[in-house]
Chains A and B, each alone.
Chain A
Amino acid sequence: MSATEKTVVEIIEDVCSQVRVGDADYDRALKDLGVDSLDVAGIFLAIQEKLGIRVPDNEIDALGSVRLIAAYLDKRR
């Protein structure tokens, strides 16, 4: 688990109190983990506030798992 992946998991679990992300879930679709469209807005706002990276609307749909989000954030840093 990379540091960025760990941070993404912490953000997801903080924003979505009902969601728990296990070690085997990093490639699973967020919606399969119980993350809905409103949660997605909350997650990316938290990312923006915590990491200072604003993800454009048209790029969010492609970031559907912990791994994809973390890789995207690492590229933007």
Chain B
Amino acid sequence: MIRLHSIASHVPAGSISNYDRREEFALTDEFITEKLGVASVSRMRPEEDTSALCLQAFNALQDRASVKPTDIDCLIVCTQNPDGHGIPHTSAVVHGQIGAPERCASFDVALGCSGYVYALSIAKSLMEANGLQQGLLFTADPYSKILDPTDKNTVLLFGDAATVTLLRADGAWTPRRFMFATRGADGTALNNRSGRLAMNGRAVFNFSATEVPAQVRALLGAEGLHPEDVDLFLFHQGSRYILDALAKRLGLAAAKVPCNLADQGNTVSSSIPLLFERYIDNPGIHRVLMSGFGVGLSWASCLVERQG
């Protein structure tokens, strides 16, 4: 059985404060704090690329867990903003940079905010089906590459980051059940238009506030669980406003719906593992529900449980 062993991350030191943009975008402090929840957005350096963020996350993982590059059997990068123009795939670039062996399966998963949950299932299934012992699941989607600096809807929200999750049999966290969904017909709500990200905030909010609670309830119901049986609900960190809406609609206490938007913003597929990194070694946390939602439109949820 493949489990989650460790998570490490890299948030670039560069950042832009939303408080410095109050005049430019007619923002109030309350809107920044209570609605966006984002004090500053992280930005990688211009000379950096997606693989560089992954490499930094891998370096952080090596400080945390015993993992030799030569023992890696599977390397996945979840990104929609790969190195260069995506050829070769970023996972192959990272494979070369960390010195993984040739037997290592490496591929990218082109999903946005639902990507971590999807890729976790892909990695687990691939590894278990093929007897792979040790896997690395990276998330790195630096939206700064495609943000329109004048677009208030997006530039105040999205930040750059990368995470890596070490997957192997001796991990403590077992994925228990996954649910997936797609509504491609509404994909224009959040898309890349000629190299610039465009978001219909109302459409994305409506989708998130209605479909995510429904999927969460369905997942809990399928497992015979109630919200009180879950220690934490790790939602994709879209904005403070959407997190509050999800908590309200599901009747969850704020303490069960953590938010880490303030210092880096919405980091797309990295947001859930960046949050889980805080709790993965907390012995008081036993059951976690993760739910990612966004670009696609795509949404996916899963339950993970600590063993022992």
| Residues of A participating in the B interface, judged by any CB pair closer than 8 Å | 36-38, 40-42, 44-45, 48-49, 57, 60
Contacts and interface: CB of A to CB of B under 8 A. Distances in A.
A42 B35 contact: no
Given A45-B209, A45-B210, A36 B31 contact: yes
A45 B205 contact: yes
A7 to B, nearest CB: 19
21 contacts: A36-B31, A36-B35, A37-B201, A38-B31, A38-B35, A38-B201, A38-B205, A38-B241, A41-B202, A41-B206, A42-B205, A44-B202, A45-B205, A45-B206, A45-B209, A45-B210, A48-B206, A49-B210, A57-B200, A57-B203, A60-B202
Q: Which of A38, A45, A60 has the most CB of B within 10 A?
A: A38
A49 B213 CA distance: 14
Interface residues of B, number: 13
B199 to A, nearest CB: 12
Nearest to B28: A36
Given A38-B31, A38-B201, 10 more contacts: A36-B31, A38-B35, A41-B201, A42-B241, A42-B245, A44-B202, A45-B205, A49-B210, A57-B200, A57-B202
Contacts of A36: 31, 35
Contacts of B139: none
Interface of B: 31, 35, 200-203, 205-206, 209-210, 239, 241, 245
B239 A38 contact: yes
A62 to B, nearest CB: 15
3 A-B pairs with the lowest CB-CB distances in the bound complex, closest first: A41-B202, A41-B205, A38-B241
Contacts of B206: 41, 45, 48
A37 B209 CA distance: 16
Nearest to A60: B202
A45 B203 CA distance: 10
Contacts of B200: 57
A65 B200 CA distance: 22
A49 B201 CA distance: 18
A42 B241 CA distance: 9
Contacts of A40: 202
B253 to A, nearest CB: 16
Residue in B202, B203, B209, B210 whose Cβ sees the most chain A Cβ within 10 Å: B202
Nearest to B204: A41
Contacts of B245: 42
Contacts of B210: 45, 49
B239 to A, nearest CB: 7
Contacts of A49: 210
Contacts of A60: 202
Nearest to B242: A38
Contacts of A42: 205, 209, 241, 245
A57 B201 CA distance: 11
A41 B244 CA distance: 14
A65 B202 CA distance: 18
A60 to B, nearest CB: 8
A36 B156 CA distance: 16
A40 B201 CA distance: 11
A37 B245 CA distance: 15
A42 B203 CA distance: 11
A30 to B, nearest CB: 14
